[in-house]
Structure 1
Amino acid sequence: MTSFAIVGHLARTDGDFSLNDLPGAGRMDVLCRCVNASLFLSHDLRRDADCYLVLLGGPKAPKTVLFRGGELRSLSPDERSAGALVKKALSIPCGSEFREAAPGVYVRNGGLERLFTEHAFAVLDEKGTDIRMVPAVPEAFLLSDHQNFSDAEEALVKDAPRYSVGPVCLHADHTITVISNEIDRRKNGWK
């Protein structure tokens, strides 16, 4: 199982946003692209992948929305589809445990601190070790949206291993695609 967690620093937590303006919802478009990059194959889903969206914008922050590839039933490969599922998840009351909003989509209160107690995340960072040089690819990865990690987030991840996907900085969704490709290559004996 591979898990990706993306921090949405400005992403709305109240669900009060238009699907026609996902960038205006705290760059929800970036997060939706990350959901799609984490889970979609050509004509199928990655059933062995999860995607966590850590939403930090708005009055109800922090909240975490989880997409489980093995359980999803109603996700199409476009930003609006992922955005609609996030919006639906944010519309239901939740507590400290994940609550199902739709098949394979869950929401709970809480953010990175809680996730770090549940997963041993590696941080994807352009200054990290080349992922192709490590003997084993980690199972959980943490990325930031269009903003850098805050000082508090950096303090939380200071001891996590850091990996890079190449010599230039990529968008978060592109980075996820490269990581998934590296995992696919290794699983299938490609070098």
Structure 2
Amino acid sequence: MIEIILEASKARTAPNFLIKDIPGTTGRWDVVIRCLRSAFSFPREINEKINFTVLLGGLPDPPKLFKFEGSIFNDLRNEILGAVFFRDLVKKSMKIMKTTEISPGIEFSRINLIRYLDRKLKNGEVVFYLSENGFDINKFLTSFKMNFTQKLNFIIGDQSGFRPELLKYLSKISKKLKLKGNKSYLSSQSIKYLIFELLKLGIIKH
């Protein structure tokens, strides 16, 4: 199982926004929605081997972590429907204090990303994060893929990059990887290219 984790450090944690200005009034939910759609843009037999998690870290009620299970969750058809869907999720979350399945295939919790990753490490999972100056993902995973029996987690930043405290933490507990070439990728593009690489290496079986 692969989990892709997005830190959306400024994404709003309340349901009020203008549908005509999703980027400007939601702290860039549009980026979150594109990333979610990219993660589940593959055939069903691939999607069901992927989980997508997003940490909303913006005002007024952070942190909010939503985990989407690819084996259950159905892809969003477009960005507008995605914004309405997220609005409803965030609205539901306002009164929830405990970890719960907030919607079929979607788990909600009030936990920051560092605590969430700490739990994964204690469970023996492997954590990587994407960076433009990291190790070549293809070369690195090719040399180690036979040892990967644990769940793999890949952390991606949004348009603002990682918060300094998270980056400091990641540099201590995980390996920094980069996608092919010297090009800068949008977060949603990074997710798609990452999945292509994992498929090519046979880490995601299909």
Q: Give the TM-score band, short-chain normalised.
A: 0.7 to 0.9
CA shift for structure 1 position 26: 0.3
Residue 125 (structure 1) aligned to one of 124, 128, 131:
131
Q: Report the Cα distance in structure 2 between the residues aligned to 1:125 and 1:79, rounded to whole angstroms.
A: 26
Question: RMSD in angstroms over aligned alpha carbons?
Answer: 2.2
Aligned length: 187
Deviation at 1:66, TM superposition (A): 1.4
Task: Report the equivalent of 1:35.
Answer: 36
Q: Deviations over 1:100-142 (max 9, x none)?
A: 2322122221221222123332010010011110222872110
The amino acid of 1:47's aligned partner reads: E
Amino acid paired to 2:8: G
Match of 1:13 in 2: 13
TM, length-normalised to structure 1: 0.88
1:100–1:107: 8 Å Cα contact kept in structure 2? yes
Per mean C-alpha deviation after superposition, the further-off stretch among 118-127 and 76-85 is 76-85
Query: Which is helix-richer, 1 or 2?
Result: 2
1:161–1:60: structure 2 CA closer, same or farther, 3 Å change rule? Answer: same
Residue segments in structure 1 that go unaligned for 5+ positions in a row: none
Bigger strand share: 1
The one-letter amino acid paired with 1:180 is I
Code of the residue aligned with 1:17 in structure 2: it is: F
Q: Of 145, 149, 155, which residue of structure 2 is paired with 1:142? A: 155
One-letter code aligned to 2:199: D
Code of the aligned partner of 1:113: I
Distance, in Å, in 1 between the alignment partners of 2:136 and 2:101 is 36
Matched AA of 2:66:
V
Kindly provide the CA deviation profile for residues 121-171 of structure 1, in whole angstroms up to 9, marking residues without a partner as x: 201001001111022287211011001222211222122101000222111
The one-letter code of the counterpart of 2:178 is S
Q: Which blocks of at least 5 consecutive residues in structure 2 are unaligned? A: 121-125
Displacement of 1:43 after TM fit? 7.2
Q: Please state if 1:186 is matched with 2:201.
A: yes
User: Which residue is 1:72 aligned to?
Assistant: 73
What percent identity do the matched residue pairs reach? 20
| Larger RCO, structure (CA 8 Å, separation 6 or more) | 2
Runs of 4+ in 1 over 3 A off after TM superposition: 42-45
Cα deviation for residue 184 of structure 1 reads 1.3
TM-score, structure 2 as length reference: 0.82
Aligned partner of 2:167: which letter? E
| Alignment-derived partner of residue 170 in structure 1 | 185
